[in-house]
A and B are shown apart, each in its own frame.
Chain A
């Protein structure tokens, strides 16, 4: 299914529509955006199995549960998750694969869901941040994030957890550099990186100790 969603030459449909949309906006003309044509009024191509402008069936596994949906070809995985399936733990920040906030695991591989069409995950297993816990029990990494204060505003947190979960699943002890490499695509504007690295290392290497600040308190009685 995913093969159908690509234009020849590696241009994605979404990318193509974006380009056209931007061009018409800049020109300020009345030309209709091909992406916005009403499905009812447009004539769908008479091709079996082809993905056009009408919604097509999509099946995949989301956080362990099978999902069946009718999805337009242009819809990104991120839009499907957030708008149609209410998986809002997956965040939209840049919408062009530059920040990692929308990361999900697709068959265990961390991917920017804004850079995939929904139909790309047909038949796949998709795990969002909401699927990292076992029921009510948070994963060891999620607990370590809380313990090490690996989050401030929390908007990058889901993506950080997805990238680090994929790294931890490779197994074995880790170095700081390996963790930094794994989260190099995840931007955090609050600057929480050192604590994220601490949290991941604590899970990988069993280092429970928290980073300490040197606190020079007022000495009673003077000195």
Chain B
């Protein structure tokens, strides 16, 4: 280890911090480095392919002789299979193979589960042939509502212990649930500090409320899908719509008993994932197994792309939640009030799967609260399984915790920002709250909201804020290569996929920065397992895992070039050389880039770089990890028509920390995206199940409503850069933090506008009118 000192900090605070670097690690970019390309709003390098329609996504790949697969799915939420006969499908036009996926005696536990599949020359032929498959089901009692599933005597979803399905998108450090299954409830995952129950008993003042969130579907525009081609008996190429190429390779290899090296996975372009696209199969449907078996049976490539309907049934969702939040506080009036205890009891239904975590706002943001207990339990229902979804657990947990804080603040007649500042120990988030207060014109807007409430105006406005916590969860598994050939070409290669964040562009920027080359002179190749180990795009870690490895590879390649240049220019040491866009010089002697590269021996310089373990976390580490905690705060304004209940989010200010900014424009795109997802979650989106039929009632985008262009507020973004000394580029993630506080901030703004809180997402007009009625009743009772 080499010791060095770095200039680290945020905003006005700059410190010299000792850091131990692993051997060979270049000095991390710190406050003293003036970077030319990194951080700049460089347009994404594959933009031309995407705007011209030339980019080929998994959905678009066509191979000669390929067949299209379709899957027959259970129409029943719970049933045993008595008979499956696929033979008749083989007589249908275009059909070349038909297989049963479920066997006689199998118990199906949600509507949408795999039953059988066919492969045909055209997709419409495959879909039509499903009707010829004969299946006899013995339907059994089922339960799809979370509360209904919690009741004694509810039909049991699982009769034995439930296997935890973990993916690379799960929040690292989230404890594995270990509780015993009791009925449909399985306790697990708790976070604890002190003794919250005792502290609540002793508290002078207590607050208690129950908050509910809905089931939220990922709705990536490109549905889950794969194409499988067997290249030989024991080798396959898989095109996959995935956010983790290597997890597809490993799971596909495991399914078919192959060495992973015999499986090549390609994802040149990906139409979104949001946490749902890890592994070869999807969470509720064995797409890779089905396509692989059909391809084997027909000896032709088989493509299986889910329809939008299927995507809603069996590829994952964000679990719903029922969270009871209890706060204990001192009786001291006004700004002196202190929260002494937080107790959150959460139940979440992840359908037949697991994952009822509620994030860390309660346990890890409010570190000045001495006694905290967060308990969560999975509730199983006969519905499609949940899977990690952009900041798993956090948006629902933030909604409950941040709502409870605001309700307590209203009760104590405190400013909600002041209440947060009094209990949050993270210096960056505290700074963000203060910045937001000023930039959002918080005090004046709160006063205006109070005036409208007092006057009882038809249209009300209100403001709210909420915060986020996330960690830098970067991994060290990537191997990035940088090649510089004799003609001066630079190629950066890695088997990472671009989920939409634009990792390829940032890789080019980092290589361009190190080599002092124009960005457009760097070629980037990604999206193929043969390009070297990459990382999965989950946990907001792609940029922070890949860019340090790019820098190391580029630095190693440059060191070789520097040796060549030093010899040619007769420099006493490579460190005396001056590098520019034109080439390299020493005093008046110089070589152009082309002249320098001509001197490379052999075809090209090839250097491979890795990322060292995270070695710094200034100014504060994420609880339980030696890596930085990522802070964020959002401020929302809403406008509500109290006659109709119509609510709109009109303005949103997002203040986020994402380490050193790699590309000011693409980071803004990601934040816009987090907000759009949060607005839909707050006001519009909800998967609706029919309790009597056990099926999803809105399995397409006409009835399931994501946020559209006209639903978005006016967005302002402030990035509070933090140099943490975590790795040699200083990057960390933003994808997930950007969506955590949005719904909570909107809910708090609604509370401010109405003077009464809506404790359930999505905040629909009906719920607004209910809340107003509740408020009227309370005030009438108060009058009498």
Q: Which residues of A contact B (CB under 8 A)?
A: 21, 24-26, 28-33, 35-39, 74-75, 79, 82-83, 86-99, 101, 128-130, 132-133, 138, 142, 145-147, 149, 151-158, 161, 179-181, 183-184, 186-197, 210-211, 213-223
Contact = CB atoms under 8 A, between A and B. Distances in A.
Contacts of A195: 668-669, 672
Given A74-B124, A91-B221, A138-B52, A25 B307 contact: no
B676 A214 contact: no
Contacts of B667: 213
B700 interface: yes
A214 B75 contact: no
A99 B722 CA distance: 38
B127 A222 contact: no
A161 B271 CA distance: 16
A129 B53 CA distance: 6
Contact of B672 (A37, A132, A184, A193): A193
A26 B139 CA distance: 13
A21 B221 CA distance: 24
B702 to A, nearest CB: 4
B650 interface: no
B132 interface: yes
Contact of B274 (A158, A189, A210): A189
A221 to B, nearest CB: 7
B668 A149 contact: yes
A30 B88 contact: yes
B709 A180 contact: yes
A156 B709 CA distance: 12
A37 B91 CA distance: 11
Contact of B219 (A87, A138, A189): A189
Contacts of B676: 188, 190-191, 193
Nearest to B432: A216
B12 interface: yes
Contacts of B7: 218, 220
B53 A88 contact: yes
A85 B274 CA distance: 31
B11 A149 contact: no
Contacts of B668: 149, 195, 211, 213
B53 A130 contact: yes
A220 B32 contact: yes
A133 to B, nearest CB: 6
Nearest to A182: B709
Interface in B648-701: 661, 664-670, 672-677, 700-701
A82 B269 CA distance: 17
Contacts of B123: 79, 83
Contacts of B454: none
Nearest to B130: A25
A135 B274 CA distance: 35
16 contacts: A25-B72, A88-B53, A96-B702, A147-B43, A153-B270, A155-B221, A158-B53, A188-B676, A189-B219, A190-B500, A195-B672, A213-B718, A215-B719, A215-B721, A217-B721, A218-B14
Interface residues of B, number: 97
Contacts of B43: 146-147, 149
Interface stretch (B55-63, B177-185, B375-383, B393-401): B55-63
Contacts of B2: none
B134 to A, nearest CB: 6
Given A191-B707, A192-B669, A216 B125 contact: no
Contact of A214 (B48, B124, B136, B719): B719
Interface string B38-50: 0001011011101
Interface string B1-40: 0000001111111100000000000000001100000000
Nearest to A190: B673
Contact of B44 (A26, A79, A149): A149
Contacts of A219: 11-12, 14
A218 B31 contact: yes
A151 B47 contact: yes
A93 B308 contact: yes
B672 A155 contact: no
Instruction: Report which residue of A32, A194, A222 has the largest number of chain B beta carbons within 10 angstroms of its beta carbon.
Output: A194
Contacts of A217: 721
B271 A90 contact: no
B492 to A, nearest CB: 20
A-B interface, 9 closest residue pairs, ranked by CB to CB distance from nearest: A89-B53, A191-B676, A36-B128, A153-B500, A191-B673, A155-B271, A146-B47, A88-B60, A154-B50
A2 to B, nearest CB: 21
B496 to A, nearest CB: 15
Interface of B: 7-14, 31-32, 41, 43-44, 46-48, 50-57, 59-60, 62, 72, 75, 88, 92-93, 122-125, 127-137, 218-223, 269-272, 274, 307-308, 435, 499-502, 661, 664-670, 672-677, 700-702, 706-710, 712, 715-723
A35 to B, nearest CB: 5
A215 B664 contact: yes
Given A21-B131, A36-B92, A38-B93, A156 B221 contact: yes
A21 B307 CA distance: 14
A194 B32 contact: no
B719 A87 contact: no
A140 to B, nearest CB: 11
A211 B54 CA distance: 27
Nearest to A79: B124
B44 to A, nearest CB: 7
B155 to A, nearest CB: 22
A95 B274 CA distance: 21
Contacts of A93: 221-223, 308, 701
A97 B670 CA distance: 27
B227 to A, nearest CB: 13
Nearest to A133: B52
B52 A142 contact: yes
A103 to B, nearest CB: 12
B199 to A, nearest CB: 37
B716 A214 contact: yes
A213 B655 CA distance: 10
Nearest to A41: B93
Given A36-B128, A89-B53, A219-B11, A197 B709 contact: yes
A189 B685 CA distance: 12
A36 B716 CA distance: 53
A186 B435 CA distance: 34
A161 B51 contact: yes
A25 B53 contact: no
B719 A190 contact: no
Contacts of B41: 149, 210
Given A31-B131, A96-B702, A213-B664, A153 B52 contact: no
A89 B52 CA distance: 7
Instruction: Report which residue of A94, A179, A181 has the largest number of chain B beta carbons within 10 angstroms of its beta carbon.
Output: A94
A79 B131 CA distance: 21
A220 B14 contact: yes
A96 B699 CA distance: 12
B271 A191 contact: no
Contacts of A133: 52
A85 B3 CA distance: 61
A203 B502 CA distance: 24
B767 to A, nearest CB: 24
A86 B269 CA distance: 17
B704 to A, nearest CB: 9
A215 B11 contact: no
A122 to B, nearest CB: 20
Contacts of B716: 214
Contacts of A86: 62
B402 to A, nearest CB: 21
Instruction: Report which residue of B48, B53, B54, B668 has the largest number of chain A beta carbons within 10 angstroms of its beta carbon.
Output: B53
Contacts of A193: 672, 676, 708-709, 712
Contact of A213 (B135, B136, B220, B719): B719
